[in-house]
Amino acid sequence: MNIDLIGKTALVTGSTQGIGLAIAKGLASAGARVVVNGRSQDRVDEAVATIEGDAVGIAADVATDGGAQVLFDAVPAVDILVNNLGIFGAAPAGEISDEQWRQFFEVNVLAAARLIRLYLPGMTERHWGRVLQIASDSAVVIPEEMIHYGVSKTALLALSRGFAKSAAGTGVTVNSVIAGPTHTAGVEEFVYQLVDRSLPWDEAQREFMRLHRPQSLIQRLIEPEEIANMVVYLASPLASATTGGALRVDGGYVDAILP
C-alpha cells in the first residue's frame, strides 16, 4: 500500500518519547507535516531533531484548558489529530484517592475531549480529517493493579465512538487504537514496580509477561513502531470507511473476537 500524507498536518500529543514519538516519525515518513507536543520545550526540541521529515514542536500542557488553548493558538488547523497523551501507574484498588482518579481522567480523557472540541469543527468544515485516540488493552481487560487507568481508557473508547457519531457524514473519521503492552521507558519502570529490580531487563520482561500479561499471544512487549504502523494507516485516505472503531494492536492480549 502506498500511504501518502503529503499536504496533511498532523498533531501528536505526548510525542516527545515512546509511542507518541514513534507515531510522529511514522506520520512524517508518510509525508505529513508533524507537530510534536510535550510540556517541556527542551524535550520537544530534542524529539523534533530525531524526526526525518517536516516537523515542528510546540510545548504546551494539554491536560489543562490553558495549555490546550496555547497549542490551538499556535496551530489552529490540523488534518490529523492523535491524542496519545496519557499517564499510568500501579496502585492497590482500595488506595486510589479521589485526587488520583481526577488526575487520570483529566490527563487521559479530558485532554482528548478538549482537543477534539477545538479541532473537529475545522475538519468538518473542510470535509476531511482523522481523529485518533491511543487507548489500551486495559480499557477492555481492566487490570487489578491499576483500575483507575483502565477505567479512564474505557472512557476514551466511549469518547471516540461518541465523536464519531457527531462527525457522521462529514468526511472525518474518529477511531481508537487499543495498544497492548508496549516497550517504552515508562513501561520499563512500571515493569520494575511489579518484578524484582535486580533482574536484567530481558529476564524482567519475560517475568512480567508470565505473571501479569500471560494472555499475550506474541509473548513479548510490542514495539512502539508497531503501534505507529496502525496509526499511520488509519490517518490515511485508505482508511476512509473505518470510523467509530476500536482497533487492536495488542499482540492478541484481549481474549475476544471483538473488543
CATH number of residue 243's parent domain? 3.40.50.720
Look at residue 1 and tell me if it is in a domain: no
- Which ranges constitute the DSSP H helices of the chain? 18-29, 41-49, 65-74, 98-105, 111-126, 147-166, 185-194, 201-212, 224-234
Look at residue 255 and tell me if it is in a domain: no
The answer to whether 119 is a known catalytic residue is no
pLDDT digits (tens, 9 = 90+) for 232-242: 999 999 999 99
Contacts 24+ apart (CB under 8 A), 208-211: 209/181
Assessment of whether the complete model's pTM goes beyond 0.85: yes
Contact 64, 108 (CB under 8 A): no
The chain-wide mean pLDDT, for the chain, equals 96
**Residue 34 CB burial class (10 angstroms; 0-12, 13-18, ≥19):** buried
Look at residue 48 and tell me if it is in a domain: yes
Residue 56 DSSP SS3: strand
For the chain, give the percent of residues with pLDDT over 70.
100
Structural domains of the chain, count: 1
For the chain, give the percent of residues with pLDDT over 90.
90
Instruction: Label the pairing between strands 80-83 and 129-136.
Output: parallel
Give residue 170's domain range: 9-182+222-249
Q: Which of 149, 192, 233, 253 is catalytic?
A: 149
Tell me what the mean pLDDT of segment 99-121 comes to: 98
pLDDT digits (tens, 9 = 90+) for 33-76: 999 999 999 999 999 999 999 999 999 999 999 999 999 999 99
Look at residue 17 and tell me if it is in a domain: yes
Look at residue 204 and tell me if it is in a domain: no
Over 80: is that where the pLDDT of 256 sits?
yes
